[in-house]
Structure 1
Amino acid sequence: MPELNARPTAVAVLRGNFTGTVLSGLETYGRAMRVGAEAARVGAVDLVRGRLPIKELLGQAWFLITVTAIPGILMAVPFGVIVSAQVGNIVHQLGANSLIGAAGGLGVIKQGAPLATGLLLGGAGAAAIAADLGARTIREEVDALRVMGIDPIERLVVPRVFAMVMIAPLLNILIIAVGVVAGYVVAIVALGVTPGSYWNSFGSFATMTDVWVSLIKSVLFGLLVAVISCQRGLEARGGPRGVADGVNAAVILSVVSIAVINVLITQVVAMFLPTRLA
């Protein structure tokens, strides 16, 4: 009898935990989307009226460059090498070495560069923004802004969102360039592909549409990271421990969101814009 009575209780506890986790996650995303919509509205109004805090925006953009540029280069090299090495070995066994440039280049442009950009921004960028806004929140600086009639979204969130969206495509281009060059070196040195064959196949399959899709993905990833990290920072509670929890949540939510959005975009692009000869 005690075991029979304990089973429904355990099931109820598990169901309650699962439901609470799912609902909490949906509520968090809902609040983040609300912050994003408010930032987009305020940013558009300030842009039209010429009231954007340019100094704060440029400061945030420069900070993001300093924390992501070098790691971006270090991530781009392995991406280019791994794609060329793995795909190149398979293509080499099939006797189609002339396609290594196309496979390696498209792999970096379509997946490697935007994913590396999103992961860098979701790691270093999200942590920095969430920590900064979280520290301001627990020091009651955000409440002080509201008391003075200053909108925290306009003063703190909008510059960071604009800076992240501005830096994301630049970082994406940097990673594409370094990744393609790294793949080229591996193909030439390790796989015996001729330079002309590599660039000819790369130019035959890679199009500007692929580059634009990659840039759009990086911009969406940057926007998503900025909104999530700002929302977690503004909701930090409970002192330094709350700031640490907010930073951790911002990084995890950013990375998971980037992975999900990337799968959806990849499927849509594959349906409407399939790979073809340039």
Structure 2
Amino acid sequence: MAAVADAGISGVLRANVSDTVVASLRTFGRAVGVAQGAAAGCVTEAVARRFPWREAVRQAWRLVAVTAIPAVLMAIPFGVIVSVQVGNLVHALGADSLLGATGGLGVIKQGAPLATGFLLGGAGAAAIAADLGARTIREEIDALDTMGIDPVRHLVIPRMAAMLFVAPLLNVLIIFVGILSGYAVAIGGQDVTPGSYWATFGAFTTVADVWLSLLKAVVFGFLVVVVACQRGLEARGGPRGVADAVNAAVVLSMVSIVVVNLAATQLTAMFLPTRLA
């Protein structure tokens, strides 16, 4: 009897795991479909001169409103932490003059893109998923389908354009504030001269590093808007469904950003190693 019970339990577990894997793959497939439709729609609408610029600008302003101040507040302590931690290490090695290079590269290559992605994946994804989820449970999406209006063109494309526009701007803001805060700590608390700080920063930081940081921010923004739109458009079950969609959008966005950043870091370390400018 015990063997039969164990076999039954293991069968149920295998069935649950199988169902979870299949559901995850189907969700991933629907997200890819949303990404393909929105990306192709952006190009075709721009070529046909029917792009909803006004809605895209409105959505971009909404994203800026919910992320600009948190970006500054996040960049300041991040720049300080990088400067202090790296400063202690380079001081122990007797290479205080390299603090500008190590701190600047840390902010540009990793800190700014990740902070941008997390801000967009938190505040941005929550705002988009909540908006689209509320429209879905009010049956506005079904009404658009009934009238022959594509929800992707009407709702997703403006938000994708806004996200891809705001992401690099937010990244530049975080780089600027993070480097300045790290510079202030290095000069004021670690006895690094301004000349050596900026000299090593300019010697090791290349234009390719900045472009790579901007590209990562755009990719992270693309992942966030696709996940948020897909979860919002599939919200079900009233207000509880909207809350679940928002939670899923935030969590999936964060996980996607971490995984993609890990892969991007490995690839750049292999093909674009750090070198003198």
Indicate the TM-score class for this superposition, using the shorter chain for normalisation.
over 0.9
TM-score, normalization by structure 1: 0.97
Looking at structure 1, the residues matched to 182 and 13 of structure 2 have their Cα atoms a distance apart, in angstroms, of: 48
1:128 alignment partner in structure 2 = 127
**Cα shift at 1:18:** 2.6
Cα shift at 1:43? 1.3
CA drift at 1:30: 1.2
1:67-78 superposed matches below 5 A: 67-78=66-77
Q: How does 1:54-133 map to 2 (within 5 A)?
A: 54-133=53-132
- Counterpart in the other structure of 1:179: 178
| Aligned equivalents of 1:6, 1:257: Cα separation in 2 | 39
Amino acid at match of 2:62: F
Q: Does 1:226 align with 2:225?
A: yes
Output the TM-score relative to the length of structure 2. Answer: 0.98
Which sits farther off after the overlay, 14-23 or 104-113?
14-23
2:208 is the alignment partner of 1:212: no
Q: CA deviation at 1:82?
A: 1.1
Relative to structure 2, which stretch is displaced further, 166-175 or 235-244?
235-244
- Matched residue, 2:153: 154
Aligned to 1:253: 252
Structure 1, residues 191-248: CA drift from partner, whole Å, max 9, x if none? 1111111111110000110000000000000011001100101111111111111111
What is the aligned length?
277
Distance in 2 between the 1:77 and 1:23 partners? 43
Q: Distance in 2 between matches of 1:49 and 1:270?
A: 41
| Residue deviations 1:61-108 (CA, integer Å, cap 9, x gap) | 000000000000011112111111111101100000011110000000
Counterpart-to-counterpart distance in 2, 1:276 and 1:124: 36
- Residue type of the partner of 1:51? R
Specify the alignment match of 2:21 in structure 1.
22
Deviates most, 157-166 or 78-87: 78-87
Q: Using the aligned pairs only, state the percent identity.
A: 65
The secondary structure found in structure 1 opposite 2:3 is helix
Paired amino acid for 1:140: E
CA distance in 1, matches of 2:20, 2:205: 43
Deviation at 1:187, TM superposition (A): 1.0
Q: For the residues of structure 1 that align with 2:202 and 2:116, how far apart are their CA atoms?
A: 23
RMSD of the alignment, in Å?
1.0
- CA offsets 1:146-181 (integer angstroms, 9 cap, x no match): 111111010000000000000000000000000001
Query: Runs of at least 4 residues of structure 1 off by over 3 A?
Result: none
Superimposed CA distance per residue, residues 103-137 of structure 1 (whole angstroms, 9 cap, x where no aligned partner)? 00000000000000000000000000001001101
- 1:20 offset after TM fit, Å? 2.4
1:8 aligns with 2:15: no
Find the aligned partners of 2:201 and 2:18 in 1 and give their Cα distance: 49
